[in-house]
Amino acid sequence: MSTSSAYFTVSGINIEVTYKGIKNLHISVYPPVGQVRVAAPKRLDDDTVRLAIVQRLPWIKQQRKRLRDAARQTEREMVSGESHYVWGRRYLLDVSREGRPEVSLEGKTLWVRTPKGSDAEQRYTVLNGWYRKEIKAAVPALLEKWQPVVGQEASRFVVRRMKTKWGTCQQASRSIWINPELAKKHPRCLEYIIVHELTHLIERSHSARFQELMDSFLPDWRARRDELNEAPLAAEEWRSNE
């Protein structure tokens, strides 16, 4: 079945539309960042699809808010026994050790050591700093691997927490921003984001040309994208059950 894609921005929300041989239009909002995707019949034109999206905006915004609220509900508990993820693997948190701030992995345990009397916020800060260091250590090798393939070089990379994006590209400065939350996901997700942002140095939009370039650089990029965007919410990482 042949398909084509378009990208809209409606009320500040980026929306990916795929035209398929289907009868009805479907709108989906995906965790963890509330990415919106639309599957639309080929018979509909862009204006008709955009109108349908506008009509569903209250529902879309409600779903995005639900995802964001869920991610905050238990965000700062940081007690022993919670599940946390590192590079796609599940670990049980243990905060029983006291002393100089330190994070380590031992077997299936994620140890977060903080000074005596530390609260959840302080433990959270230590763990977040460690995730940032993990990303900073992983990115250079990926840039070295993929810059020659894509034929573009980033002037620098910045690890920065973003509410709605896993990564972004600043074309003017040729810098790439990476979300430290990626350290919780499988390494292939970070690799996908690196290739994605380097490709944006060639093609700014998510056009057909952009997709063709991604197909040539990383043929399974769609599977990696879906794996990343369908990963469990951060909120679930704070409970004992991403």
Percent of the chain with pLDDT over 70: 89
Domain that holds residue 135: 83-238
pLDDT one-digit tens code per residue, 60-89: 999 888 877 665 544 558 999 999 999 999
pLDDT one-digit tens code per residue, 163-220: 778 999 988 899 999 999 999 999 999 999 999 999 999 998 888 899 899 999 999 9
Same domain, 112 and 12: no
Write down the pLDDT at residue 75: 57
Number of domains in the chain: 2
Write down the pLDDT at residue 1: 54
Same domain, 162 and 91: yes
**pLDDT band for position 231 (cuts 50, 70, 90):** low
Q: Which of 13, 41, 73 is the last residue of a domain?
A: 73
Distance between CA atoms of residues 15 and 18, nearest Å = 10
Higher pLDDT, 241 or 140: 140
- 133 φψ region: left (φ > 0), alpha (ψ -120 to 50), beta (else): alpha
Q: Is residue 78 part of a domain?
A: no
Six token digits for residue 2: 């042949």
Question: Tokens 């921003």 map to which residue?
Answer: 177
Percent of the chain with pLDDT over 90: 65
Name 8's bridge partners.
Answer: 15
pLDDT (mean) for 23-28: 91
